[in-house]
Amino acid sequence: MTVTTMTDWTRARPQPNWLARLFDYKPFLVVACLTPALGLLLVFLTYPLGLGIWLSFTDTKIGRTGEFVGLDNFEYLLSDPQFWSAVFYSVFYTAVATFGKFALGLWLALLLNNHVPFKSLLRAIILLPWIVPTVLSALAFWWLYDPQFSIFSYLAIDILHIRKTPFDFLSTIWPARWSLIAANIWRGIPFVAISLLAGLQTISPSLYEAALLDGSTAWQRFRYITFPLLLPILAIVMTFSIIFTFTDFQLVYAITRGGPLNSTHLMATLAFQRGISGGELGEGAAIAVAMIPFLVAATLFSYFALARRKWQQGEAND
């Protein structure tokens, strides 16, 4: 009889087969992992972007391949008052709407971060404007701003008796511009409020308690604790919000289509009108390309504002 002792037996070393060896081979792995991502980026991002930029240097029209015309499209736009009006309104729209969204969104977030009754219900309600498809809410605003059937006019005339004539929201330049901004703010608040609320909830309550004992007033707690600790997330949310607002299309297109007198065109809607509705693809593309510097500026802002602050480096504090 043979006695098998522990030392007679050696654990079989698993021999990796060719597939396992291939996946252990780093150059192969790099290529295999990058290909899908790069492919997707190329097909869905780089190609359309490149095509757009190329189109902006041609005189392509719908149904006719254009020729390279250099900077002609841009030169034409520079002397086009309608283009400058769209640039102005895009910047104005973005600035005012972002300010409004952040003022109201931060206020709501601070409110919801306190103990309020029916908190989860309130949070769900607040998300509503964001969940509703944009076109649907645009239609709702269209009704709200209707020259005859506006509920605001009805309230002012028939209920409160403070006006004799209906409000004129969309048929004169500045009221139309402000009305669109109001609609955009309404739609944008949930995103800001919920993101900032998430940020607020990461701030440890004991910091507020410590500050309370240190003798702070409510305003000082906001200024010295809430605001600086919220700043990193505020910067991200603001960058996104600026980009979304600047490139807005649906609201304006559905409510005013750029009118009255083309005064509410954003760069995106003007590009669409010239390029698709008007058929001047080259010119439309040029307008769209002109948005790029603004978007790059917003991204740079985020890059620098988001750079990890010194106090965020190192181990966590808990």
Q: Which of 124, 163, 209, 295 lies at the binding interface for other proteins (CB under 8 A)?
A: 209
Q: Which residues contact 162 (CB under 8 A, 6 or more apart)?
A: 156
Q: Which of 95, 173, 225, 306 lies at the binding interface for other proteins (CB under 8 A)?
A: 225
Q: Which stretch binds other proteins (CB under 8 A): 14-22, 112-120, 213-221, 264-272?
A: 213-221
Phi, psi of 64, deg, nearest 5: -145, 120
* Closest to other proteins by CB, 39 or 228: 228
Is residue 81 involved in binding other proteins (CB under 8 A)? no
* Closest to other proteins by CB, 21 or 309: 309
Amino acid type, 52: G
Is residue 114 involved in binding other proteins (CB under 8 A)? no
Is residue 317 involved in binding other proteins (CB under 8 A)? yes
Instruction: Tell me the number of residues near other proteins by CB under 8 A.
Output: 27
Kindly state the DSSP code that residue 311 receives in the 8-state scheme. G
Is residue 207 involved in binding other proteins (CB under 8 A)? yes
Amino acid type, 293: P
Q: How far is CA 184 from the centre of its chain?
A: 11
- Residue 301 token pair: 């802002």
Is residue 213 involved in binding other proteins (CB under 8 A)? yes
Residue 295 CA to residue 25 CA, distance in Å, equals 40
Judged by CB under 8 A, the chain residues 177 through 206 that form the site for other proteins are: 204, 206
- Quick one: which of 263, 271, 273, 267 has its CA closest to 293? 267
* Closest to other proteins by CB, 158 or 318: 318
Q: Which stretch binds other proteins (CB under 8 A): 96-104, 107-115, 218-226, 250-258?
A: 218-226
Q: How far is the CB of 203 from other proteins (least distance, A)?
A: 9
Q: Which of 21, 119, 163, 309 lies at the binding interface for other proteins (CB under 8 A)?
A: 309
What track of x and - describes contact with other proteins for positions 27 through 66 (by CB under 8 A)?
----------------------------------------
Scanning the chain, the segments in alpha helix (DSSP H) are: 18-24, 26-41, 47-56, 72-78, 81-113, 119-131, 134-144, 151-154, 173-201, 205-213, 218-221, 227-246, 250-255, 267-272, 281-290, 292-306
Q: Which of 139, 156, 173, 229 lies at the binding interface for other proteins (CB under 8 A)?
A: 229
* Closest to other proteins by CB, 216 or 250: 216
Count the Cβ atoms, other than its own, within 10 Å of residue 101: 26
Residue 26 CA to residue 133 CA, distance in Å, equals 45
Q: Which of 211, 254, 305, 306 lies at the binding interface for other proteins (CB under 8 A)?
A: 211
Q: How far is CA 2 from the centre of its chain?
A: 77
In DSSP terms, which residues pair with 64 in a beta bridge?
61
Binding residues for other proteins (CB under 8 A): 204, 206-207, 209-217, 220, 224-225, 228-229, 309-318
